Amino acid sequence: MKNAVFLFVFFVLISGILMGCDNNGVEEEQSDGLAITTSFSVLGDIIDQIIGDRGHVDYIVPIGEEPHEYEPVPSDFRNVSDADVFYVNGLDLEEWLENIVENVTDTEIVTLADGVTPIPLEGDDEADPHAWLSPKNVIIYVENLVNDLKERDPEGEAVYTENAEAYLTELEELDDWITEQVSQIPEEHRVIVLSENAFKYFGEDYGFHTEGIWEINSHEEGTPRQFARLTELVIERNVPGLFVETTVDTRYMETISNESGVPIVGEVYTDAVGESGSGADTYIDMMRHNVEVFTEGLM
């Protein structure tokens, strides 16, 4: 993180010099509505569904990377400091970034997971941040988002209300569909084993036990003890299949699979949506993909 702070200071110096040269007291025009920045692609899509033509959304952590340990580059800070608002997940996900942002820009930080009941990390007081992996929580995110947007841009109220109603209906349909899909999986097979134990909120809402090689990507990853514990557990519980995520090196889970003889049966999206054209480039499509993979893999 020292690196990031250094880069940021560098960026502030450079931009200060540049502004001194060409600004001449003329404010940069923002003609295309609200400039919104958010931390990662999943929130980017959710905001996109609501904002309509009232603004545009950028996200910091690129698709394929995970937000827990991401090291920001100077353009990320420029992006946040130029924004009207910086929407974050909260539940300590972006703490590293918020600390830096708070010190160096006036951009307001708004937390979308406010009001979600936190689930603690195993053996820790810290909250698990992956609340977005349950659509029931994303309904709360959308409510927070819409309340903030209406205050920030009162003229857009009708647009936000209409888009939110449509999107909340889709989320409720997704929720019903998940319940229906899950009911096909034999109860004793409802175990999600991933590298990072990211589906705790999902598991609690839809009746899955969840396990990871590790609890969260920001902790130690892939120690001999973690491998031994999970290998023993998947054999003991007779787990039908293991899963990998698009944002974590799959070699960790391959080790568990080789040692336990339990196959890897699918890849899911946790900390990023899919690339465009993947069929999972929105939150709703990524969750549909995930649930299909779970259902097929655990039957």
Residues of this chain that bind Zn ion (CB under 5 A): 198, 271
CB of 262 to Zn ion, least distance (A): 22
Nearer to Zn ion, 86 or 269 (CB): 269
Q: 65 or 143, CB closer to Zn ion?
A: 65
Q: What's the distance, Cα to Cα, between the start and end of the chain in Å?
A: 43
> Any bridge partners for residue 59, and if so which?
38
Instruction: Kindly tell me which of 36 and 198 has the beta carbon lying closer to Zn ion.
Output: 198
DSSP H helical ranges for the chain: 2-22, 41-51, 74-82, 95-104, 135-152, 157-182, 200-206, 224-236, 251-260, 283-298
Q: Indicate the helix (H) or strand (E) that contains 61.
A: strand 55-61
CB 224 to Zn ion: min, Å: 22
Nearer to Zn ion (CB atom), residue 93 or residue 298: 93
What is the rounded distance in angstroms from the CA atom of residue 64 to the CA atom of residue 268?
A: 12
d(CA 129, CA 30): 33
Closer by beta carbon to Zn ion, 66 or else 153: 66
Provide, rounded to whole angstroms, the least separation between the CB of residue 66 and Zn ion. 5
- Where do we find the tokens 């960790």? 252
CB of 188 to Zn ion, least distance (A): 27
CB of 219 to Zn ion, least distance (A): 11
Distance of closest approach, residue 40 Cβ to Zn ion, in angstroms: 9
* Cα–Cα distance, 246 to 267 (Å, whole number): 7
Task: Between 94 and 175, name the residue whose CB sits nearer to Zn ion.
Answer: 94
**243, 267 contact by CB (below 8 A):** yes
